[in-house]
Every structure is written in C-alpha cells, then in structure tokens.
Copies of this chain bind each other. A is one copy, B any other.
Amino acid sequence: MSASSFPFNILKTGHVELRVTDLERARDFYVDLLGFVETERDDDRLYLRCIEDWEHHSLILRRASTPGLGHIAYRVESDEDLETLYALVQDQQLTARWLELDEERGQGRAFRFRDPIGFPIEFYHRIERVERQLQRFHLHRGAHIMRVDHVNLHVPDVTFAESWYANVLGFRRSEYTETEDDPPRVWATWLHRKQNVHDVALMTGPGPRLHHVGFWTQETGNVLRAADILAASGFETHIERGPGRHGISNAMFLYLLDPDGNRIELYTNDYLIPDPDFEPIRWQLNDPKRQTYWGAPAPQSWFDHAALVETFSGDAFVELTPPEIADRPAFVGH
C-alpha cells in the first residue's frame, strides 16, 4: 500500500511560543495593529489565534526577561501518535517531558523535547476548539491574518537537520537552495507536512535560532495593509524587508520585527502541494531572484539577526554553533 511508511502523522505547524519582555506592548503590536485574535490570557501569557483558526491558540506570547523562542509545536493526528513519538524521542535519548496539566491553556496531553539541533519542540493532539472567525468579517482587523504557516530556523548544518526532519519525522522537501560548490551543498531547504510549501524551513546560520515565524494571509492587499498600519502607528522601523515576492515559494512577503525584535513574516500567494511526489525546486544560492524575485537583496540584518532559543529548562538560551559554510549569498543589501 502507498500510505506513509511512518507510524505516526505530523499534521502541521500548530503554534509557536515567543518570549516578550512587555506583554502589554506585545499585545498592542500583535492584537491592536496586526489583528490577531485574543483567546485567553493569564499573568504571563497571551494566547492568540488567527482568523481561520479553530484551535485555542496558534501564537503564545510569554512574558520573559529577554526575547527569544519558547517552543515550536506541531500537531499530530491522534493520541496514539503522541505516544509513538514520545517513545521515538526516548529511543533517540533526547531530553523530553510531558507537560503539566494546564501548563499550556486549552491544550490536552502534550510533550516537549529538545531536538538534535537544539530546538525546543512540542507535539500535541488535543486542543480546545474555539470559534473560528473566518466569516465574522466585521471583526477582522489589521492584516487579516488567516493562520500560522511555518517556522524558519537557522541551523549550522542544514544537511544534518533536514535528515532528521525528513527521515525521522517524515517532512517532505518542496524547494531547496544549493551552493555553487562542486559538488553543491544544501544551503537551505523548505519542508512541509501540510499541503503547501512549508511547515519548517532550515537555513544555514549560527544556530539553533528562530529566524522567523510565518503567518499566511489571503491576498497581497493584506500584506500591504500591514505596512501601512505599522507606519501610521510609528512602527515603520519595524518593517525590516519587503514587501516583495520570493523566488522560493512564490510568496508575497513582508518581514516585521515585533517590539522585542522577534521576527515574523506575513506571507501569501504560495502554492498547494497535494502530491507527495512533487519534484522539489532547486535554486542556486547566488541567484538574485531566489530571495526576492524582483531582484532586491535582503538587508544584512535579515542575515545577522535571529531569536535565541530557550534551553529545555527555560532558564537560559542554547549556545550557538557557527555554520560550516558561508551563511549568506554574495548578494546582500545593507
């Protein structure tokens, strides 16, 4: 039979937890300006979701002394998958723990572990269903963000990291970037579980770091509107790059820095991949249309800056390993 050979089914990037130093300031940015929907809050956390979401949250903002990544969560198809994956990470001797009851609001049984690259990853299946806002059009605000789409990660060794995501977890490659070396080396890769370009992208860089979290909108007009709203609110210095169209993924993009410097991407116009045998698209690192199809280089800050990731205990950041190959193309803006 043709079904996947993996004894579990990871569905999608489910949510991301970002550390922010001022919860109210972060709320102003994400809810008041960008239009995220607040589901619930406690003293230290805001649980936000997007317009298309029926899950309790797709973005958690957690109060912390410094910015950074709390954790990345992938949803799995069943309770059984959760147990299978827990056994797998134990077999691999990765540090892991089941969450306390109600440690994360709205979520059922779930565990976190440190993946071999150093990222704090969570798997969950059960989560509280909340009202979807898709047709509550009168409540849509800001950039009309539909859903979390992907995470983009800086890793020192893309080949190693991709091998783990693809061979152990079953992610599939949609697009990739190679160096001009002979033989070429994989510089970055876009991997998906749900049927669009990616749930996770792995790029060469000092890591483990979170480069950005990507959120999907329905139309390009929403991406432009985000820039207008931010500039009108005095946040024009938080617009780091774009709007533009990616060569990779075909998406219209806008990169924003939140008040703590965590980077998010607004993203639309990528494509659907219903076929597991979709032939991955190859790009060369120095193709000027790779990053921005219209030719403009990404700025230096876009290559230099990324969010540190919490250690498993949450009280420090994982130390960085420098990449083994150059971490940027020859063609960079300033």
A93 to B227, CA, bound (A): 50
A307 to B247, CA, bound (A): 32
Q: Are B76 and A271 in contact (CB under 8 A)?
A: no
Q: Which of B138, B237, B333 contacts A232 (CB 8 A)?
A: B138
How many A residues, CB 8 Å from partner?
72
A245 contacts partner chain B, Cβ-Cβ < 8 Å? yes
Set of chain B residues within 8 Å of A237, measured between Cβ atoms: 295
Set of chain B residues within 8 Å of A227, measured between Cβ atoms: 245, 294
Q: Are A3 and B12 in contact (CB under 8 A)?
A: no
Kindly identify, within residues 239 to 254 of chain A, every residue whose CB is under 8 Å from any CB belonging to chain B.
239, 243-245, 247, 250, 252
Set of chain B residues within 8 Å of A76, measured between Cβ atoms: 2
A233 contacts partner chain B, Cβ-Cβ < 8 Å? yes
With CB as the reference atom, state the residue of chain B lying closest to A293. Answer: B231
Set of chain B residues within 8 Å of A258, measured between Cβ atoms: none
Chain B proximity of A227: nearest CB distance (Å): 5
Mask: chain A, 1-35; 1 = CB below 8 Å from B; 0 = not: 11110111101100000000000000000000100
A260 to B230, CA, bound (A): 37
A314 contacts partner chain B, Cβ-Cβ < 8 Å? no
**Among A64-72, A155-163, A213-221, which stretch is in contact with chain B?**
A213-221
Beyond A3-B77, A135-B247, A195-B272, 14 additional contacts (C-beta under 8 Å) are: A1-B81, A3-B6, A12-B275, A77-B277, A134-B250, A195-B274, A221-B221, A224-B252, A227-B294, A231-B245, A236-B289, A243-B243, A243-B244, A333-B334
Kindly identify, within residues 273 to 317 of chain A, every residue whose CB is under 8 Å from any CB belonging to chain B.
274-279, 288-289, 293-296
A52 contacts partner chain B, Cβ-Cβ < 8 Å? yes
Given contacts A1-B80, A77-B2, contact A194 B274 (CB under 8 A): yes
